[in-house]
Structure 1
Amino acid sequence: MNDSAYRVETAPRLAQWRIDALSSTSFRKSDPFRIGLWNWHLTVERHKHLCVKLYPEVSSLTREQPPIASFVIKLVSTSSPNRRTIVHPGICDKQLKNHDDFVWAVDNFFSGRFIIDVEFLDLKVVPPSGGEPSSIWNSYNIEKRSAATVLISLSRMLSEGIHTDIIINANNGSIGAHRAVLATRSPVFRSMFSHNLKEKELSAVNISDMSFEACQAFLNYIYGDFKADEFLTHRLALLHAADKYDVSDLKEACHESLLEDIDTKNVLERLQTAHLYRLPRLKSSCLRYLVNFGKIYEIHDDFNAFLQNADRELISEIFQEVLAAWRT
């Protein structure tokens, strides 16, 4: 069988697979074809019935944003002049993840050559942030393009100092910023600029407990210019700033990141950080690492020194965890 036997011809919303006559028992799977954001496959199998399946190719995109499809699928005979057609009743807003999500079993089928014709009426995805599914053809790409353009513009406002109206003074340098952006992202900044405080009068905010580099990373995050390397370098300082200025999404991002690489060298620092900034999952993970996995014995001297200066409430929690582990 030549390669063209597996090729599916496509238009923007249409796919057609032309198939020669099938034997009484046969199976055929098409080459992948592109419709919308995904690669797709069709399969056709003949035993007692003819069975047609349509599904997206397995990929990270399919797992994270499976298509929610509406389509009309037909079988069209091309062996006779009158082109007999069998039409599926139609599929509306069906999520397709794998090869068992859409199966069409046809009882009364014709012989000879035929076409599997799929017309996609709509393809939707659930936005990464959640909410109602939206069409990739109506608004999805426009929204993505608009959001990307806004982020680029915000980044340029900061990096090029376009019409800045506030100065952020770190402990070793200053950065121009914009009151409106800061106030939008932080209720603390909003309060500063809304009342007759010195920050409003002087058009300056002193953040003397942050280095210039950490402060730059903080502003980059606020302006949507996220850089992974600087985030990892400054995440403890960023956590402090996020807590101080009530930037909740940044605080949660730092929390998630600190959970990912706990080890014997940093677990005591992470435990103190979790207690200081009220991060329950980080605290629980550190205590589990120390107690349940027995790492407390590997850093015995450091742990004893830690207890000399730790908060009493934290010490109590540690010993409760140790006692609970002994009971089990």
Structure 2
Amino acid sequence: MSDAYRVETTSRLAQWRIDNLASCTYRKSDPFKIGKWNWHLSVEKNRVLFVKLYPEISNLTRDNPPIASFIIRVVSSVGDRKALTHSEITDKQLKNNDDFVWAIEVPLTGKFIIDVEFLDLKTISPDGGEPCSIWADGFTQKRSNATALTSLGRMLTEGIHTDIIINVADGSIGAHRAVLAARSPVFRSMFSHDLKEKELSTINISDMSIESCQAFLNYIYGNIQHDEFLAHRLDLLRAADKYDIADLKEACHESLLEDIDAKNVLDRLQNASLYQLPKLKTSCMRYLVKFGKIFDICDDFNAFLLCAERELITEIFHEVLGAWKGF
């Protein structure tokens, strides 16, 4: 590797020493690693000097481009040491060699150094949300959260210092008052007042099986698996509504929207009405009426009408009449 193209680095600092640019108009550095990415610096001499900083093209860059905050300087190393400093770049997403270009109109001759001090590097989580730093603040927070969730999961699965018993239809499970109270205002009220749950250190949930209750607790403790969640969505929805766990109710709501079909649409519609899930109700109505699936399940639909609430039946017929008017 030629020294002319080598970039020296520390954890957050990169320096490229250029001894002579007189004999060429373009030079690109060898790749150098800062954070998770390989980077390049390049200089192009025309009427002005263009300095570029960009990540090396890779699957990582395409899928998760860095969001960089940095200060970049050009330092003359001949005679009196002089530095030209670009104003601080904050949260700039860099994907290619045109995303950061610094045009320097001051003529530079002889030796000089391009100095890049990375203040922060962030990525966007696949789940969305605010960009998170890959360095101390973001990484430490993620590691802390992951460790805490693992520890909570062990408290449940290994029965570490459980202090409440949940009795269900076909068994019982130990849990922790503090965790349940922190996740549900209904549980908190049980343990804060002189109710039988506080006195006897038991909770009776007779309408849940032990498998569904285990899934419910696994969600509360941050330990649920995707297949387990899918298998018990309706029981989890019922428990979320009963114990006022809003995030679980919304997770069930979003999941039930994803696989509506002729076999489950009427059941989903009934639950949407019962638990006040507007998006699910709208999607079921559209599936039945706008897409004409109501005619494919006539027998099931007639049976549904015999037991459905009057208000829901009225909504369905309003939807049907509205669709007919559109023809």
Structure 2 counterpart SS, 1:163: coil
- The amino acid of 1:93's aligned partner reads T
Relative distance call for 1:214 and 1:86 in structure 2 (3 A) is same
Q: How many residues align?
A: 319
Give the stretch that moved more between structures: 153-162 or 16-25: 16-25
Give the AA of the match of 2:72: I
- What TM-score do you get using the length of structure 2 for normalisation? 0.83
Q: Residues 162 and 175 of structure 2 are in contact (CA less than 8 Å); yes or no, is this contact kept in structure 1?
A: yes
SS in 1 for 2:314: helix
* Distance change >3 Å, CA 309–CA 44, structure 1 → 2: farther
State the TM-score, normalized to the length of structure 1. Answer: 0.82
Q: 2:266 aligns with which of 241, 265, 268?
A: 268
Residues 87-111 of structure 1, C-alpha deviation per residue, up to 9 Å, x if partnerless?
2333153332544553311223435
Question: Do the aligned partners of 1:24 and 1:47 also contact (CA within 8 Å) in 2?
Answer: no
CA distance in 2, matches of 1:121, 1:270: 50
Aligned to 1:320: 318
Aligned to 1:193: 191
AA matched with 1:108:
V
- Shifted more, 304-313 versus 221-230: the winner is 304-313
Name the structure 1 match of 2:14.
Answer: 15
For residues 232 and 90 of structure 1, the distance between their equivalents in structure 2, rounded to whole angstroms, comes to 51
Counterpart for residue 166 of structure 2: 168
User: What corresponds to 2:35 in structure 1?
Assistant: 36
Deviation at 1:286, TM superposition (A): 1.7
* 1:171-205 Cα deviation digits (max 9, x unpaired): 11111111111011000101111111111121111
Q: Does the CA contact (< 8 Å) of 1:96 and 1:102 recur in 2? A: no
Instruction: Tell me how far apart the structure 2 counterparts of residues 298 and 27 of structure 1 sit (CA, whole Å).
Output: 68
Name 2:73's counterpart in structure 1.
74
C-alpha deviation, 1:60, in angstroms: 4.0
SS of 2:9 mapped into structure 1: strand
Q: 1:4-25: per-residue Cα shift (whole Å, max 9, x none)?
A: 8776443101123456748776
Look up the match of 1:96: 93
- Matched with 2:180 is 182
Q: Report percent identity of matched pairs.
A: 63
Task: Say which is worse superposed, 101-110 or 168-177, in terms of deviation.
Answer: 101-110
Unmatched 5+ stretches in structure 1: none
Residue 72 of structure 1 and its aligned partner are, at CA, apart by 1.9
Aligned pair partner of 2:245 in 237, 241, 247: 247
5+ residue gaps, structure 2, are: none
Amino acid at match of 1:15: A
Q: Distance in 1 between matches of 2:5 and 2:303?
A: 69
Q: Whole-Å Cα distance in 2 between the matches of residues 313 and 23 of structure 1?
A: 83
